[in-house]
Structure 1
Amino acid sequence: MTKSVFTLKMMAPLAAAVISINAGAQTAEPEKTGELMETIVVTGQAANARSDIERQRASNKVVAVQTSEAIGELPDANVTEALQRMAGVFIARDQGEGRFVGVRGIDPNLNASTINGMSLPAPETDSRAVALDVIPSDLLASLEVFKTLTPDMSADSIGGAIEIKSINALDYDGQTYKMTVENGYSELQGENSPKLAGTYTNKFDLNGRTLGVAIAASHQERKFGSENIETDGVWEEFTAMDGSEGITAAEIEQRDYAVTRERTGVAANFDLEVAEGSQLYLHTLYSDFSDEEQRQRNSYKLDEENDDPDTISASSVTWSDAALEKELKDRFEEQEILSLVLGGEHDLDTWGIEYALGYSHAEESEPHRRDTTFVQEGLELGYTSAGTIPDMYAADASAMDAASYELDELVVEDNYTDDEELSFRIDIRRDIEVAGNPSELKFGLQERRREKTGDLNATIYDGFGGDFTLADFANNNIDYSLGTFGPGINQGAVNAFIDANIGSFEIDETDTALDSARDYVMNEDISALYVMNDIDFGRANLVYGVRYESTDFSAEGYRVAESGEAIDGAEEIAEDVYVSETSYQRDYSKLFPSVNFKYDYSDNIVLRAAYTESLSRPSFGDLNPSAAEIEYDEGELEVKAGNPALDPYEARNLDVSFEYYADTLGMFSVGAFHKQIDNFVVTADVSSTADLSQYVGALAVEEAEIFQPINGDQATLTGAELSWTRGFDNGLLLRTNATFTDSEASLGLGADAERGDNIALPSQADLVANFIVGYERDALSLRLSTAYKGERLLEVDLEDEAFDLYEDKHMQMDFSAKYRFENGVQVFFNAINLTDEPFYANRRGYNGQYEEYGPSYVLGVTYSSF
């Protein structure tokens, strides 16, 4: 871990005061003046900001940097939330917590994430993006987000390349240790969340060789929750039975979540300094993340029996003979990530060599998940207002009567996902001269072998040996503020009933077969070669070269169909359910040239320009050959499926920037970038062009929704990035950044399409911004931070662009206060989401999803020896 300090040197008698920055060591050597000198080390926000700025300035790429001390100044519990403070970075949240990271407004799936130089696998079933919230921020030395690439970096990054560096004992002087104890409180749930973290480093002399040992561990149990109302499906135009016309959704859900998340992280790094310029290392990281979730859900199935509502207006609807389902999801999910990197670095005079062998493994297990559903039919249901939070109502008093709901269905799932990668890289460099200028020629290779598997199993029960109602399992204490919820389901009572009687339950063979034929195996082998030249012209620096990457991709899965007659080549695994194996394979390769130019125009001004080419491979969920969901009911078909034939995104990227570094603590930068992206991926309803027989054979289909990822034609993304940091003598520190982007993407639908062909690039945010006000005086440190993310397109409706799904803008405000005592103790207080900012997604102003999380607070104490 890099330690940032101010060193204030005072001579006796006081003749001068010299302030200097040392970003690479614990302490600084006094100046050789011959006079008695006292060294006082003062750590703080300004020193941390200075360290980040200097590393950014020295880089030969466009990069944003944050060291561990700067991360510790803000109330960020994990890597994802720490990254959101950096210029051009935004985060996608789950239950209010940051999970995935996007750069320059671009989809998180289009980034690359590495730790200690090796790629991170993704434990989620569908995602290629790594949910970095599984990595506690206590384990970090620094975070770097590279926005331009050089040939020695993997080309699989269109948004940005995120490099996570864990702690290293050689960055410290001797033995150090640090302990943190804290407790968090969720205002919405009224729950406490304890956390314990610690780091230890030391250096050992082994016969003239130095061994650095760094160990960090962190454990947190966080209890919190959220309240939600969302639309299952789209808002459509209807003509009601009384002749009125309007827009409504056929199904709306109220949801209440209670969540317990545990994070355990351990990093153990061993660095052996064999000789001057020669080092061997073993870096390890283990992270365990568990998510226990209880979700109470009301599903207003408005079109259960009638195809049209009774009455409809711009803001209300009434639907007769509808159904209200009450469901409890009881789910425990665990994710593990293991990263091992064994390597070495050797400086051999004019030659140098670096090599590393990496193994990474991620898995996600979801054992014994239970979804229990009770239903009441024949109700008059609707809402009296639409918009952001639909005001749902039930005309029948029985909707509040637990005895009126019958036990309808139980789904038990056992799901397992595994992602494993073995990688090797070697980099060789040679000092040479180019036209009398010193330069470095560098070349190397990298091999990556990755396998992702999914074993997904569901058993659906619809007979229970008796007539059971919700009254037998009722929970009348559901605290829900977004409307009237009524009785919920008691987790303990339901689980006791299931455990005692599940052997006698009746299995729905058809739905069980349809939901269980979702297993897959995907292999992705990548081979890369590169050559590059780094030339130093004094004030100017030029890095240019080319990278070649070859990808061998294969996917195996199942094609499952519900059909009234046999399907050739398929096996009947249940009545009218046929399954056959399917596989897909493709190879592709590409050259990626790049040029990065840096010019120190003056001591204060740095100019940069870069041209790079890159790609991003589609997410594993998008490539999955097995359909995620197939539902067929009396002529209505709904499918969610992948598409293994997707082409990878390909991008050509231009960057220019101007950076001004003040003599005192201050920095201003402005940059512009342009990306031309081919083959972007969008999820769309392709029912008008899809072959429906692959899902239902010869069965008649009157209405279909087939959601599948497809390649669009071409997209362009143009943006500007501003960043400003200013420190003042009175202890005030201001940091702000903003990234503005504008995109246009062509779906390639042709002139006969029902909707317009041009859209914004999916998942792209038009504005990402941060504003941080810090104040530090003596032992007191205060920070107020605001993170803003603009609107994003999430889902495309190929029939009517008015019903595209957009995530609304989001602005969250957090506060942190710290007080340091001279004995190494620090007390801190954090407040997160002070303004109770919700999550909201909508279709033309109508609800897609609205979710509230409430503020949370943390009080803790840290003791450190340095």
Structure 2
Amino acid sequence: MNDKTISVPVLALAAAVTAANAVAQQGDPIETIEVTAQAANARSDIQRQRDSDKLIAVQTSDAIGELPDANVTEALQRMPGVFITRDQGEGRFVGVRGIDPNLNAATINGMALPAPESDSRAVAMDVIPSDLLASLEVSKTLTPDMSADSIGGAIEIKSLNALDHDGRNFKLSVENSYSELQEENSPKVAGKFTEVFELDGGRELGVAIAASHQEREFGSDNIETDGAWEMMEAADGSAAFGAPEIEQRDYTIARERTGLAANFDLRLSETSLLYLHSLYSDFSDTEERQRNEYKLDKGELQSISDSSASWSDARLKKSLKDRFEEQQILSLTAGGEHDLDLWGVEYALGYSHSEETEPHRRDTDFEQRGLELGYTSAGKIPNLAIGDVDAAMNPANYALDEIVIEDNFTDDEEVSFRIDIRRDIQLAGNPSELKFGLQQRNREKTGDLNATVYSGFGGDYTLADFAANNVDYGLAPFVGTGVDMGALNGFIDANLGSFEVEEADTALDSARDYVMSEDISALYVMNSVDFERASLVYGVRYERTDFEASGNRVIESNEPIPGAEEVAEDVYVSPETSASDYNHLFPSVNFKYDYNDNIVLRAAYTESLSRPSFGYLNPSAKETEYDEGELKVEAGDPELDPYESRNLDFSAEYYTDDLGMFSLGLFHKRIDNFAVVADVTSTMNGDFSEYAGSLPVDDAEILRPINGDTATLSGAELSWTRAFDNGLLLRANATFTDSEARLGLGPDAGRSDKAPLPLQSDLVGNFIVGYERDAFSLRLSTSFRGERLDEVNTEDAALDKYEDDHMQVDLSAKYDFANGVQLSFSGVNLTDEPMYFHNSGFNQQYEEYGPTYVLGVSYSTF
């Protein structure tokens, strides 16, 4: 008998296994198959996608570890159709198929994740370290046993499970990252442990514990304009679009992430399981921001062109933000799974809690007046100009103007229960499963905002009393010194009791607390049928939503507001409450057909919804001001309708015998009631009593979210994987989308009623080159997200705010020693890709982060 060793990178699918068996039967046995880890991980991901009855994308923990993705958000960006939004260069929120991240659902171990942010439904998944994961799964079509609150996609996070591994295993890793922009080093340590204990009666207890802690110091350089550019006319008669304000910002940031997962799975028998899964994440962000604010519109515009402008008697502010923010997420899930011959039951009780605290935030402003200011270019990075440079450089010319101290708290809590019952049956001679169940979710989100504004300090203090060294700012000269945070905090702590409180501003900023509760009750029934080469999953889900919101209407007015309490001079507060309920039926059909051993065809029709963001539903107005007949309001609307979507999906997947795959998917969504902020003044027919009571209103501007008319989103999704027997692995995916939204602004709007769907990108894509030979592996990845509409200007489409396209290049290299030790190196954002927002080519925000390099070592028995 001829012994033979075959070495191939396995992306093995069923056809490959069949071929191997055929060889063995012919008398040429295969003793061992050596596989490259990258290909094996890709194989695992793709096999799960192929086997699923719905359209999904999957990444297992091993595949996640091949790229330098520090958190869940960054790991998700590698999947087909998935894009991310970034904060300070780090991945934060996740979108699917170019759709707003607020329109996704996120669950961990089957239970919904709450959002720490005060305004958002989107979960900032950067608070969850990637080291705690077993897998990530994005469902692009839904089945009736899934919550319907997902128009973009449903993201499921599965944490580590010991029963997925044999015996005792552990991994410990240590790494250090280096920020080139800040020239700072940042350590990280992570570990995971699994053990399976054999108990009496054939029972098994699986214990899995994972922990991660990272301290990262980095920063960014930023230049931005505050608000949209607007048409301006100068004293010399010239006219052009101009920026009322331009800011230079330098950020120094320290972030800590601590994550802990502890999962206990008790296998009572082959057909019965009990479990308790928990995950805790703590994310803190310490930010020091030095800022120059060119307050151009406070002066007199002398001349202006498309690329330059100059003002006299303008102001220059120097500001320091000293902020510590902490976000915590806790998820607990207890449940069981039992197979009872033809019957089966699953149940789970979940508790999720998230909070965001911002204690003792301090914002301090110093101001100099009477300067000649302007800019000599208005492109991506405006070039600023100062008439009297010596005056602008002198810290003694900047008077201490204002100090704001805030203590803010947001809490989001959900208790949920679900039970699913299934019954094996025969349908027309085909094996089938009938499944039905119920789910209850009770959620409450609260916001407690507290700000104290100080404007008198018992003396004439200037920046010279707190001046720091010149700020290290890389985009342009940063005029003058910065603010010494230590000296300023020492002054505040020693003298706070003698400061003069600005009562009106304090009341305006502190009275906007809110409480919102949302109870969702759901029932469903579904049937799954397996044919010889096909499967069909169909059914219907019913959801009822009960929503209540309470807050305060706060208005600054020089006249008394009937029915409102005056809490400070010219500041009036009245309580606001709202309640609504709505019901929906969600039919869905998912069909899968194995055309042959290599081709899988899919089709699906689903209906889903997404509830408006909490910022839009908040009854506490952001701003309300009444002054001698003029009314200005920026408010929420707790009675907004949810987004409703009807979704069609078709896909064809080709799996090659030589270890590769290619898929093409087409999708179409019709979305009703999407929300957009609009000027609704003309729709109120002169009745402004909702905001001004019985006071006369001569001129008004009312901005609040409204339900738009209809939006459509159509697209194509391509995905390709190819492994070669020389160790090369290529993966590419691209999602092309096109959308059109009818904004519902009314006939008096100053712009077209049509626009792209907000936050939708026409192109999202990834390209990954992997190579593995023996103990060495290498991965180079490129992630691309196309330009997208960020904010709609309801008066002029030319002033719509867009986020520029973004392409990031990352590198990861690893070497595995025979004793379980691995040495790794990675580079993130190698090309120093910036973030850029603009409108019609004018700067809105430009920010650079620089590349980061990471060196690590780990030891693993997995």
Classify the TM-score, shorter chain.
over 0.9
Superimposed CA distance per residue, residues 149-196 of structure 1 (whole angstroms, 9 cap, x where no aligned partner): 000000000000000000100011100000010000111111111000
For the 8 Å contact 2:549–2:619, the answer to whether it is kept is yes
Query: Could you tell me which amino acid in structure 1 is paired with residue 278 of structure 2?
Result: T
Superimposed CA distance per residue, residues 15-53 of structure 1 (whole angstroms, 9 cap, x where no aligned partner): 8789977999xxxxx999999996576551000001011
Q: State the distance in 2 between where 1:39 and 1:471 align.
A: 75
- 1:499 equivalent in alignment to 2:493: yes
Which residue of structure 2 aligns with residue 540 of structure 1?
534
Q: 1:573 to 1:428 in 2, by over 3 A?
A: same
1:14 CA drift (Å) = 3.4
- 1:678 equivalent in alignment to 2:672: yes
Q: State the distance in 2 between where 1:281 and 1:554 align.
A: 34
For the 8 Å contact 1:565–1:698, the answer to whether it is kept is no
Pick the aligned partner of 1:754 from 734, 745, 750: 750
Superimposed CA distance per residue, residues 259-303 of structure 1 (whole angstroms, 9 cap, x where no aligned partner): 111000000000000011110000000000000011111111111
Which residue of structure 2 aligns with residue 349 of structure 1?
341
Pick the aligned partner of 1:593 from 581, 584, 587: 587
Superimposed CA distance per residue, residues 316-337 of structure 1 (whole angstroms, 9 cap, x where no aligned partner): 0011111111111100000000
Give matches, 1:265-280, under 5 Å: 265-280=259-274
CA RMSD between the two structures:
2.2
Give matches, 1:805-816, under 5 Å: 805-816=801-812
- 1:744 equivalent in alignment to 2:740: yes
Which residue of structure 2 aligns with residue 668 of structure 1?
662
Give matches, 1:337-376, under 5 Å: 337-376=329-368
- 1:232 equivalent in alignment to 2:222: no
Q: State the distance in 2 between where 1:370 and 1:620 align.
A: 26
Which residue of structure 2 aligns with residue 292 of structure 1?
286
For the 8 Å contact 2:299–2:311, the answer to whether it is kept is no
Give matches, 1:568-717, under 5 Å: 568-630=562-624, 639-686=633-680, 706-717=702-713
1:477 CA drift (Å) = 2.7
Q: State the distance in 1 between where 2:374 and 2:698 align.
A: 25
Q: State the distance in 2 between where 1:704 and 1:500 align.
A: 45
SS at structure 2 position matched to 1:730: coil
For the 8 Å contact 2:105–2:149, the answer to whether it is kept is yes
Which residue of structure 2 aligns with residue 840 of structure 1?
836
- 1:829 equivalent in alignment to 2:819: no
Q: Structure 1: give runs of 5+ residues left out of the alignment.
A: 1-10, 25-29
For the 8 Å contact 1:563–1:697, the answer to whether it is kept is no
Query: Could you tell me which amino acid in structure 1 is paired with residue 250 of structure 2?
Result: D
Which residue of structure 2 aligns with residue 3 of structure 1?
none
1:582 CA drift (Å) = 0.3
Q: State the distance in 2 between where 1:514 and 1:675 align.
A: 41
Q: State the distance in 2 between where 1:705 and 1:228 align.
A: 31
1:826 CA drift (Å) = 0.5
Give matches, 1:124-523, under 5 Å: 124-207=117-200, 208-306=202-300, 309-397=301-389, 398-485=391-478, 486-523=480-517
Give matches, 1:97-112, under 5 Å: 97-112=90-105
Give matches, 1:56-67, under 5 Å: 56-67=49-60
- 1:82 equivalent in alignment to 2:75: yes
Q: State the distance in 1 between where 2:839 and 2:266 align.
A: 57
Q: State the distance in 2 between where 1:706 and 1:406 align.
A: 35
For the 8 Å contact 2:558–2:628, the answer to whether it is kept is no
SS at structure 2 position matched to 1:69: helix
Q: 1:239 to 1:636 in 2, by over 3 A?
A: farther
Q: State the distance in 2 between where 1:710 and 1:311 align.
A: 39
Q: State the distance in 2 between where 1:137 and 1:70 align.
A: 11
- 1:801 equivalent in alignment to 2:797: yes
Q: State the distance in 2 between where 1:310 and 1:396 align.
A: 16
Which residue of structure 1 aligns with residue 850 of structure 2?
854
Q: State the distance in 2 between where 1:255 and 1:634 align.
A: 37
For the 8 Å contact 2:12–2:659, the answer to whether it is kept is no
Q: State the distance in 2 between where 1:633 and 1:471 align.
A: 38
Q: 1:515 to 1:158 in 2, by over 3 A?
A: same
Q: 1:45 to 1:637 in 2, by over 3 A?
A: farther
SS at structure 2 position matched to 1:127: coil
Query: Could you tell me which amino acid in structure 2 is paired with residue 273 of structure 1?
Result: R
Query: Could you tell me which amino acid in structure 2 is paired with residue 167 of structure 1?
Result: L
**Larger displacement relative to structure 2 (171-180 or 14-23):** 14-23
Q: State the distance in 2 between where 1:262 and 1:15 align.
A: 48
1:629 CA drift (Å) = 4.0
Query: Could you tell me which amino acid in structure 2 is paired with residue 831 of structure 1?
Result: G
SS at structure 1 position matched to 2:48: helix
Superimposed CA distance per residue, residues 446-483 of structure 1 (whole angstroms, 9 cap, x where no aligned partner): 00000000000000000000000001111123111222
1:125 CA drift (Å) = 0.6
Q: 1:546 to 1:784 in 2, by over 3 A?
A: same
Q: State the distance in 2 between where 1:646 and 1:36 align.
A: 66
1:864 CA drift (Å) = 0.2
Q: 1:471 to 1:702 in 2, by over 3 A?
A: farther
Superimposed CA distance per residue, residues 636-675 of structure 1 (whole angstroms, 9 cap, x where no aligned partner): 8765432212111000000000000011220100010000
Q: 1:488 to 1:539 in 2, by over 3 A?
A: same
Q: State the distance in 2 between where 1:678 and 1:635 align.
A: 37
Q: State the distance in 1 between where 2:627 and 2:297 align.
A: 13
Q: State the distance in 2 between where 1:271 and 1:655 align.
A: 36
Superimposed CA distance per residue, residues 679-701 of structure 1 (whole angstroms, 9 cap, x where no aligned partner): 01112344555776766778999
Q: State the distance in 2 between where 1:699 and 1:187 align.
A: 58
Q: 1:19 to 1:797 in 2, by over 3 A?
A: closer
1:749 CA drift (Å) = 2.5
Q: 1:371 to 1:718 in 2, by over 3 A?
A: same
Question: What number of residue pairs does the alignment pair up?
Answer: 849
For the 8 Å contact 1:628–1:640, the answer to whether it is kept is yes
Which residue of structure 2 aligns with residue 8 of structure 1?
none
Q: 1:703 to 1:77 in 2, by over 3 A?
A: farther
Identity of aligned residues (%): 73
Query: Could you tell me which amino acid in structure 1 is paired with residue 4 of structure 2?
Result: L
SS at structure 1 position matched to 2:298: coil
Q: State the distance in 2 between where 1:251 and 1:633 align.
A: 24
Superimposed CA distance per residue, residues 812-865 of structure 1 (whole angstroms, 9 cap, x where no aligned partner): 010000000000000000100011000011111101111111101100011001
Query: Could you tell me which amino acid in structure 2 is paired with residue 102 of structure 1?
Result: G
Q: State the distance in 2 between where 1:124 and 1:684 align.
A: 23
Superimposed CA distance per residue, residues 695-738 of structure 1 (whole angstroms, 9 cap, x where no aligned partner): 67789999876543221110000000000000001111000000
For the 8 Å contact 1:683–1:796, the answer to whether it is kept is yes
Which residue of structure 1 aligns with residue 766 of structure 2?
770
- 1:790 equivalent in alignment to 2:786: yes
For the 8 Å contact 1:12–1:37, the answer to whether it is kept is no
Q: State the distance in 2 between where 1:17 and 1:769 align.
A: 31
**Larger displacement relative to structure 2 (561-570 or 518-527):** 561-570
Query: Could you tell me which amino acid in structure 2 is paired with residue 600 of structure 1?
Result: D
**Larger displacement relative to structure 2 (204-213 or 82-91):** 204-213
For the 8 Å contact 1:570–1:578, the answer to whether it is kept is yes
Q: State the distance in 1 between where 2:89 and 2:839 align.
A: 21
Q: Structure 2: give runs of 5+ residues left out of the alignment.
A: 15-19
1:539 CA drift (Å) = 0.3
1:634 CA drift (Å) = 9.7
SS at structure 1 position matched to 2:188: strand
Q: State the distance in 1 between where 2:184 and 2:351 align.
A: 38
For the 8 Å contact 2:730–2:768, the answer to whether it is kept is yes
Q: State the distance in 2 between where 1:704 and 1:488 align.
A: 40
Q: 1:22 to 1:205 in 2, by over 3 A?
A: farther
Query: Could you tell me which amino acid in structure 2 is paired with residue 661 of structure 1?
Result: Y
For the 8 Å contact 1:336–1:362, the answer to whether it is kept is yes
